[in-house]
Amino acid sequence: MIIQTTCTPASLFSGERFAVTYRIYGTEKEARAKAESICIEQTVEFPAECVGQGTIRDHVFGRIESFERRDVESFRAVIIYAVEIAAGELTQLLNVIFGNTSIKPGIRVERLDLSPSILSQYKGPRFGRAGLRELLRIPKRPLLCTAIKPMGLSCDELADMAYRFALGGMDMIKDDHGLTDQSCSPFAERIARCSEAVRKANRETGGRTVFVANVTAPAAKIAERARIAKGAGAGGIMIAPGLTGFDIMRELAEDDSLALPILTHPALQGSFVTGPGGIAHGVIFGQLARLAGADATIFPNFGGRFSFSREECREIVAGTAEPMGHLRTIFPAPGGGMSLSRVPEMMETYGKDLIFLIGGGLFQHGPDLVENCRHFRKMAENME
């Protein structure tokens, strides 16, 4: 049975296409067959032989733009898709990029080349690197970020910690990503107390430290927590799109009544990058984070307690800064088991345009938390 449309005019399709680069494992024959199957799987999801000539075949099918050997075990296929099938929706864009194909082993999304009309549908990061530097009045040096923790401390205790971090000169003090609305430190009280503590320290130091509230929450509560954070004087928000979905981050970023910098956290996104399939580090933590409006992307630094390589971290940095139309460049924020001794090596890899995210390491450096922060700050200032 042959299916074709006699009603959908070809004029609904502009001819503009965006490109997804896939790394496909296997022999050349296997990889080529997989590339051909992606063109169908990600679009019509229908037996190709049952689709007649015409608009669907010409415009809805994905098309292999190039196919070449990548290395001894894999091939690189660039597949292009009509912009119209993404429907102007981030969820559907993700679905076209990798929805069903995520279920097929040995295929990895390596790179996105989004076309002008797709990019025009996204405002992207509100601040980005330049905007965040301006907001914090830090023209050149790396930014310093730390987290209040461990979970189990009361709001009083966390606020005291935030105060000391701010006194020591940290630029951004964020909730640990596991702090949501637990009864030991309920969201609204915690954010109010910590924001106030940071303001108090700022009055004493003349600094501009901001408190960043974790708004990762059930779907119906995310925007509400962001508003509470804004009302309490928080200077930024953090969200983990692996837990909430990417699109709500885009919505927060585009909300003019909120207008707060956004940090994206990688919780639950690890499964995308740890296998040979999945989505490359530079795409999920770089390009997609940026498309969805993050101003800074948190990821595990190489050589910490996670397993990312220096090369993978460099790929993320590339994703935060490569040309993506009008989308602002964003800060890489490597962290995860970092100690102050790693700072020089990190500078070498990342340059000055980064946010140093150090949590537990600040407690291990010496007996006085404020002094440890000051030491950390001095290291960063020496890099200007």
| CA-atom Rg of the chain in angstroms | 23
Rounded least distance, CB 344 to its own copies, Å: 22
8-state DSSP, 84: G
d(CA 259, CA 274): 33
d(CA 102, CA 107): 7
How far from 57 is each of 47, 54, 60, CA to CA, in Å?
12, 6, 6
Rounded least distance, CB 198 to its own copies, Å: 19
How far from 255 is each of 227, 244, 263, CA to CA, in Å?
11, 17, 15
Rounded least distance, CB 106 to its own copies, Å: 8
Q: Which is nearer to its own copies, 43 or 195 (CB)?
A: 43
In this structure, the number of other CB atoms found within 10 A of the CB of residue 297 comes to 27
Name the nearest CA neighbour of 339 among 293, 372, 307: 372
Rounded least distance, CB 253 to its own copies, Å: 12
Rounded least distance, CB 205 to its own copies, Å: 21
> What type of residue is 353?
D
Rounded least distance, CB 43 to its own copies, Å: 6
Do residues 145 and 172 lie in contact, with contact meaning Cβ atoms separated by under 8 Å?
yes
Name the nearest CA neighbour of 87 among 48, 57, 129, 117: 117
Rounded least distance, CB 331 to its own copies, Å: 19
Q: Which is nearer to its own copies, 195 or 214 (CB)?
A: 214
8-state DSSP, 119: H
Q: Which is nearer to its own copies, 129 or 356 (CB)?
A: 356
Q: Are strands 17-25 and 107-113 parallel, antiparallel or unpaired?
A: antiparallel
Q: Which is nearer to its own copies, 136 or 148 (CB)?
A: 148
Rounded least distance, CB 307 to its own copies, Å: 5
Q: Which is nearer to its own copies, 55 or 195 (CB)?
A: 55
Q: Which is nearer to its own copies, 66 or 307 (CB)?
A: 307
Q: Which is nearer to its own copies, 51 or 198 (CB)?
A: 51
> What type of residue is 97?
I
How far from 347 is each of 90, 143, 310, 318, 377, CA to CA, in Å?
34, 12, 12, 15, 14
Residues paired with residue 238 on neighbouring β-strands, in sequence order: 214, 263
d(CA 88, CA 250): 13
d(CA 74, CA 265): 30
d(CA 225, CA 217): 8
Rounded least distance, CB 78 to its own copies, Å: 20
Name the nearest CA neighbour of 264 among 274, 255, 253, 279: 253
Q: Which is nearer to its own copies, 9 or 139 (CB)?
A: 9
Q: Which is nearer to its own copies, 40 or 318 (CB)?
A: 40
